[in-house]
Every structure is written in C-alpha cells, then in structure tokens.
Amino acid sequence: MANAPTPHNEARPGDIAPTVLMAGDPLRVQYMAEKYLENPVRFNSVRGMLGYTGTWQGKPVSMMGHGMGMPSIGIYSYELYHFYDVQSIIRIGSAGAYREDLRLGDLVLAQGACTDSNYASQFDLPGTFAPIADFGLLRKAADACERLGVRYQVGNVMSSDLFYSDHPQADKWMKMGVCAVEMEAAALYMNAARCGRRALTICTVSDHILTGEATTAEERRTRFTSMVEVALSLI
C-alpha cells in the first residue's frame, strides 16, 4: 500500500473497507452512501469520482464510482486491489437486456463476461481467457435475490467497448444466450483474477434492446435499490 494515495484516489491507507461497492455514476454513489451507510465519510473526490466509507449493520463498507468503460474501471479496481488491500469489489450497475424474459428492473448476476475488448492482451496469455465472477459472492447474491423476492437471472453478460457502434452485433450475442450488455464486468473480473481477489457484477436492467424500453438517468440514480440491498447482504 506504499503507492497510496494514487493519482486517481486521495484516500490514505486504512480509509477504504475490505469490501467496495462500485457504480459507474459517482452521483449514484453519493446517493447510495447517504441512503444506506451509517456515518459515511468521503475519502475521494479526485476527478469527481466520489468514494465513501461507512458501516452497514455495523460492518465496514466502502462505495466508490468507477466511471464508464473498461479502461476506467480497470484503473480504479487495480488501485483498490493493489494499493488499498481491498478484498472484494461488487459492481452495481445498469445493463441492456438481450433476452425477452427480462424486464426493466430485473437483476442480472454476471456469472461470466464476454467481451469485444482487447483488455486481456496485457496478460500475454497463450489463448482466450474466460472472465468469471467469484462463485461464493455469486451464490450468496442468488440466495439473497430469492430471500428478498427480487426477479433475477444468472448468466453471461457482454462487456462492450462501444456504446455507439457503426456495426451493432447484438443479435450474434443473443444467439449465444448472453443475458445483457454492459461495459465493465470483464475488466473487473480480469483484475480480480490477476490479483487473487474477489469480484461480482450485479446489474439492473435499465433498457431493453428488443423492446426499446428505457429508464431515465434520474431513475437509474435513485430507483435501482434492489441491487444495492443484494450487494450489501454479501458483506
């Protein structure tokens, strides 16, 4: 932890809990911290990427933004694992549904993450790496969904480098049974694997690729509470 603070995180060693819940939107992080954490203290505001540490039911937990895309979450999760001794990162984000049986507001527990990114090339592997979640976190999250009566699916997500594409290829991923598309899980899972730590992505369906249904930015910020409650139950 000698490299803390970092160029992107002004926290000092000990400021961040062993488990961190991460969301793309730092304003969503602020909302969650104020709503759920007891005595939240802000540990980071560098580049507007807010981070807070507090307790939930007496247990220490941190919440932090990760921005959009794999390069962004790659930086923040790397620093949390390597420089702040974080053991588990749970991404709580939004995703676009690829399956007809998913509805707006349903949760997707990302068992694995397909990707069109070149992120894995840095590891110089002699083949294709399959980024997967920590099974202990995944199993507990599924149990929590059952207990809380939350609609959910477990399966593959597509972690895309592109939000706007000249050549959309969603239909090809749908044929392979991929549940939803998002932009960060694959990089998070690779960083966790390389560091020997734990990670899970829980996404709320914010829009539907097949039906065209969508939520607003305000709804994504303040109404996607089920995934937060599921994530907090894993601490």
102 falls within a domain:
yes
φ, ψ dihedrals at 65, nearest 5°: -75, 155
Tell me the two tokens of residue 153: 């699916």
- Sign of the dihedral through C-alpha 181, 88, 190, 66: positive
What is the average per-residue pLDDT within 19-30?
Answer: 97
3 falls within a domain:
no
122 falls within a domain:
yes
Angle, CA 19 vertex, CA 159 and CA 103 arms, to 5°: 40
Position 156 scores a pLDDT of 98
Please check the confidence at residue 32 and state whether its pLDDT lies above 80. Answer: yes
For residues 50 and 64, the answer to whether their CB atoms sit within 8 Å is yes
Q: Does the predicted model carry a pTM greater than 0.85? A: yes
For residue 115, what pLDDT band results from cuts at 50, 70 and 90?
very high
Q: What is the mean pLDDT of the chain?
A: 96
Whole-angstrom distance, CA of residue 233 vs CA of residue 209: 30
Helix extents (H) in the chain:
26-36, 70-83, 135-148, 170-175, 185-195, 217-222, 226-232
Position 168 scores a pLDDT of 86
Please check the confidence at residue 1 and state whether its pLDDT lies above 80. Answer: no
30 falls within a domain:
yes
5 falls within a domain:
no
**What is the rounded end-to-end Cα distance, in angstroms, of the chain?**
22
34 falls within a domain:
yes
The domain in which residue 44 lies consists of 19-232
Catalytic residue among 106, 124, 166, 207: 207
Q: Identify the CATH number of the domain in which residue 191 sits.
A: 3.40.50.1580
12 falls within a domain:
no
What is the average per-residue pLDDT within 179-195?
Answer: 98
Quote the number of domains for the chain: 1
Share of the chain above pLDDT 70, in %: 99
Is 124 annotated as catalytic?
no
Position 222 scores a pLDDT of 85
For residue 221, what pLDDT band results from cuts at 50, 70 and 90?
confident
